[in-house]
Amino acid sequence: MPKEIEKKFLVIDNSWENYVVGKILLKQAYIAITEDCIVRVRLSDKKAWLTVKGKQIGFTRTEFEYEIPLREGVELLKEFSHEKQIIKTRFFLECKGYEWIVDVFDGNNEGLVIAEIELRSEKSKFFMPEWVGEDVTTDFKYTNLHLVEHPFNKWEK
C-alpha cells in the first residue's frame, strides 16, 4: 500500500529561493471527507490528479494518487469545491542533496509559506536548511484540509 511520509515546517525567510529548480501553480479542493479518508482533486495548468489519503499516524499516511484528464479535474473542482479552494505556488528545491517543496499560498491563505520534505521512513535523517522553522507536521491547523475551512488570513496574528 503506498505511503506518504513527510515532514512539514514553517518557512522563516526567503533564502530558500536560492535552491529553486522548478515551480507550478496548483488549485485544489476536497470533494469527500470522512473520518477515515479524504478525496482531493488538484489542478495545474496542464494536469489534474485525484488523491485519496488515509488518516495520518505520526507523519505517515496511506496515499493513492491518480492522474485524471484535465477536463474532468476542472469539472470536479467546479462541481464539488463550492468556492473553497486552496491556491498555491509549489516550488521544487534541491538543497544540499535533498529535495524539498515550498508551498507559497495565495487567495485566502496568502502569507502562509510551508516547506515539506518526503522521506523513505519516519527514521530517515535529513538536512535542515537555515530557512526552515517550526515543525508543524502534526499540527492539524496547517493542513490544506483545515485551511479550506479556516483560511490563514482569518487567523489571529
30 a catalytic residue: yes
Q: Could you give the C-alpha distances from 21 to 16, 104, 108, 121, 123, in angstroms and in order?
A: 11, 15, 26, 25, 27
- Of 38, 37, 8, 7, residue with least CA distance to 121: 7
- Burial environment of residue 81 by CB neighbours within 10 A (0 to 12, 13 to 18, 19 or more): middle
**DSSP conformational letter for 150:** S
User: Which residue among 30, 66, 98, 142 is the active-site one?
Assistant: 30
Question: Residues with catalytic annotation?
Answer: 30
